[in-house]
Amino acid sequence: MKERSFRTFIIIWAGQFVSLIGSGLTGFALGVWVYLTTGSVTKLSFIMLSTVIPGIIMSPVAGVLVDRWNRRKAMIFSDAGAALSTLAIAVLLYSSRLEIWHMYVFISIGSAFGSFQWPAYSAATTLLVPKNHLGRAAGMVQTAEAASVIVSPAVAGVLIMTIQIWGVIAIDFATFLIALATLAVVKIPNPPPTGYTEENPSFRKEVTFGWRYIAERRGLFALLVFFALSNFVYGFVNVLFTPLVLSFTTPVMLGTVVSIGGIGMLLGGIVMSAWGGPRRRVNGILGASLVSGAALAVGGLRASVPLLAGALFLLFFTGPVANACSQAIWQTKTAPDVQGKVFAVRRMIALSVSPLSYLTAGPLADNVFEPLLAVNGGLAGTVGKILGVGPGRGIGFMVVLMGILSAVIVVGAYLYPRLRLVEDELPDLVGESTP
């Protein structure tokens, strides 16, 4: 039973892997189309917000429905809705009728359907993968995401020149069909009841259940806060990294550095797929996060391509380790029949801080830190003697500060016993074998 269930997970993972590559193609292609059509960074940023915010808003409702439905049906519903949204964009683009507002509408719809995907996929994994292999399964998911980061932009760039953007989006639609086909041939068992929910609760109570479940378990709540704070830090880095590199070198070198980071992410996912993480997964989370914070702090010190490439490699390599260890803890410590609700709220809270980073990083860089480290800026005679002065040095200082903040967050997390001992204090709610 154990081997058959793991094979089922492999089939689902393969279909989602292909779909992830297709979604990466579309993300790159639509970004190109919006910028070339409008020349507006603001409109491009609205596309990013359309991708994130509807999914955040829908997450609590999606979590309730994921637990009410069979996990396979929830994933089919998610993939089918996202596929139809993608097809609508491809048809409008092919017929030369696509407008920017169409993009906002259909990407938002796709994001809403996508809110079902992650909690359903995560909860299904718990039912299919033995407890001692959950770290490896999470590593495989991280590997798929890393491969998409590396492969999709390069392939999309070539395809745009040959089959045009609408053709790239049509390929994405085809990858959704592949994912749906894999889901059609597998069976995912329903979780056994564990007594963590009331009999026939109201929908409103179910929507808030995930939050109450986490809040009552201080170790899980602390882990959630830790990742929310970390996402805030890395949201800053996402915004700042491109202008930091371009402040002293070319777009070609930027692409090289990002590719090196993608290789680090891929290797980190492969390592976790093979290893499964340390026995104490909290140590894997905190250790990997401490290394990534140190990498950021060092990477911002100099305007150096090798230094930034090494920092990004370490940052991306440690990400899958921390994320996979965290995922295994949540899957082990959360009752299988309520994981949809709990994981949806978990993802909503963890991601909700990212828009705040996106909105504040740019103004702080342009209006505060860059002027402070200009040639005659307020910090030119102090911090400037260490980091240098001129274009990009204020951004470099921000990256250093984000690295230090990340390390402080790790130390604070380690000093909080409920988080450090979460694996000891909370019981495992899944067995060594699958149902």
- 241, 289 contact by CB (below 8 A): no
pLDDT at 37: 77
Tokens of 424: 């000891």
- Provide the CA 117 distance to its chain's centre, in angstroms: 13
Whole-angstrom Cα distance, residue 25 to residue 157? Answer: 9
- 277, 324 contact by CB (below 8 A): yes
Chain length of the chain: 435
- 322, 284 contact by CB (below 8 A): yes
For each of the domains in the chain, give its residue range(s) and CATH number, in order of start. Answer: 1-187 (1.20.1250.20), 208-429 (1.20.1250.20)
Q: Which position has the token pair 């979604």? A: 23
Whole-angstrom Cα distance, residue 415 to residue 225? Answer: 14
- 288, 162 contact by CB (below 8 A): no
Q: 432: how many CB neighbours lie within 10 A of its CB?
A: 10
Tokens of 101: 């507002």
- Crossing angle for the helix pair 305-333 and 339-352, to the nearest 10 degrees: 150
Whole-angstrom Cα distance, residue 301 to residue 392? Answer: 11
Q: 295: how many CB neighbours lie within 10 A of its CB?
A: 24
In 3-state terms the chain splits into helix, strand, coil percentages (rounded to 5) of 80, 0, 20
Q: What is the pTM of this model?
A: 0.85
Q: 416: how many CB neighbours lie within 10 A of its CB?
A: 16
Whole-angstrom Cα distance, residue 289 to residue 411? Answer: 10
Intervals of the chain under pLDDT 50: 1, 433-435
- 134, 125 contact by CB (below 8 A): yes
